[in-house]
Amino acid sequence: MELKSLAERQPALAPAATLQIDLIESVRRVQGRLTTPWIESTTETLGARLSSGTPLLEFGQIPFDWNDVRLLIRQITDVLRRHEVIDATAANALHAVGRSATLPDVMRAWFEFEPSDDVEMLGEVLGWAARPYLQRTAEVLQQRISLAGWTRRTCPMCAAEPEFSVITMSGERQLVCGRCHVRWPFDPIACPFCGNDDRTRIKSMATPDGMYRVMICSPCGRYIKALDTRKATRPLLPYADVIATLPLDAAVMQSMG
Ligand SMILES: [Zn+2]
Ligand SMILES: [Zn+2]
């Protein structure tokens, strides 16, 4: 809904918003068929993992339905092809991965950040295909244990980097995982990619309405966008906010020359 109205309000964002809508719809069809994963670990075990800095989610716990994952890879590839994000050669390579007998190994390698075959957009496609399963498992784990004590740079569930952040009403910051969309607290100043916390070396920009901010880190050259809930009229919508803030990405690129 938000993406549809965004496309109407800001026609320049319409192509990205409609692509995002098509991707979400592919994923939503399998979401209704998901089974609830059975997590054997006790709350004590989960707590001990977190305090030792080990993310909670293990590949073997994620209840992938490989037939549905294959279907998702095919549909997501077709969406990207239809929107001309990839060419026919790349689409064929992605389809081949989806049909391959080794798909579970390819998915595990992706989940564990191991470099794999150089197929264009493979990480993105696997990310979309895995997300419903990752999210469901993360939801179940979150009902068992609080993430409030985890203040590291990567996701307490799946170890991925943040892709977005939220500034809360009290001015604290939460990072949002790029893979499973889980949120966790993080220093409001420091760079979540390199840890730099020298505020003279972090540049901040905001949209005119103040709803979105971006913090750009000089030492590592990376940046993270944020929804400032003190200025926003709604909570974070991860799928919509990454698209709504594309003009901010463009502004960052420009400022970096
Ligand atoms: Zn995650
Ligand atoms: Zn940095």
- Nearest 5°: the CA angle 27, 150, 236 is 40
Helix H, strand E, coil C: the string for 133-190 is HHHHHHHHHHCCCCCCCCCCCCCCCCCCCEEEEEECCCCCEEEEECCCCCEEEECCCC
Q: How far is the CA of 218 from the centre of ligand 2 (A)?
A: 7
pLDDT at 127 over 80: yes
| Closest listed ligand to the CA of 198 | 2
pLDDT at 34 over 80: yes
Q: How far is the CA of 158 from the centre of ligand 1 (A)?
A: 4
| Closest listed ligand to the CA of 215 | 2
Q: How far is the CA of 70 from the centre of ligand 1 (A)?
A: 22
How much of the chain exceeds pLDDT 70, in percent?
A: 100
Q: How far is the CA of 12 from the centre of ligand 1 (A)?
A: 30
| Closest listed ligand to the CA of 162 | 1
pLDDT at 71 over 90: yes
What pLDDT shows up at residue 256?
Answer: 80
In whole angstroms, how far apart are CA 212 and each of 9, 121, 153, 170, 231?
17, 27, 21, 16, 8
Q: At which residue do the structure tokens 């938000």 appear?
A: 2
Q: What is the mean pLDDT of residues 107-132?
A: 93
**How many whole angstroms separate alpha carbon 62 and alpha carbon 139?**
12
**How many whole angstroms separate alpha carbon 94 and alpha carbon 236?**
31
| Closest listed ligand to the CA of 224 | 2
Q: How far is the CA of 154 from the centre of ligand 1 (A)?
A: 8
pTM above 0.95, yes or no: no
Q: How far is the CA of 108 from the centre of ligand 2 (A)?
A: 28
More confident residue, 37 or 129: 129
Q: Which residues surround ligand 2, an ion (CB under 5 A)?
A: 191, 193-194, 196, 217, 220
